[in-house]
Amino acid sequence: MKPPRPGSRKEEVYRVFLAHGEVEALALGVKLELSESTVKSWVKTWARPEAPRDSSGVDPFVKANAEAIHRDAEERFARRYPNGLE
């Protein structure tokens, strides 16, 4: 995750989030006259653990899921067309 721009209101909220947690960060965001939904979105993003990546930069869960979908499609095609597209 890219850190917020230094000196921005988002960075202020981020620093409070790191030091004091979600509730304090939300309170500061509202005090800074930011939209509550915006601050909640930021906080949920920061609270989410970083997904592990492989060397290609793809989340392994997404990659495995895509491979499973592809295998399923191939199996359904093979059942429907046992001799291929003759």
Q: How many CB atoms lie within 10 A of CB 84?
A: 7
pLDDT tens digit sequence for 24-45: 999 999 999 999 999 999 999 8
Query: What residues have CB less than 8 Å from 67, skipping those under 6 apart?
Result: none
What residue ranges in the chain does DSSP mark as E strands? none
Show the CA angle centred on residue 6, arms to residues 4 and 11, nearest 5°.
50
Extents of the domains making up the chain: 1-50, 52-86
pLDDT tens digit sequence for 56-79: 666 677 777 788 888 888 999 899
Q: Model's pTM, two decimal places? A: 0.57
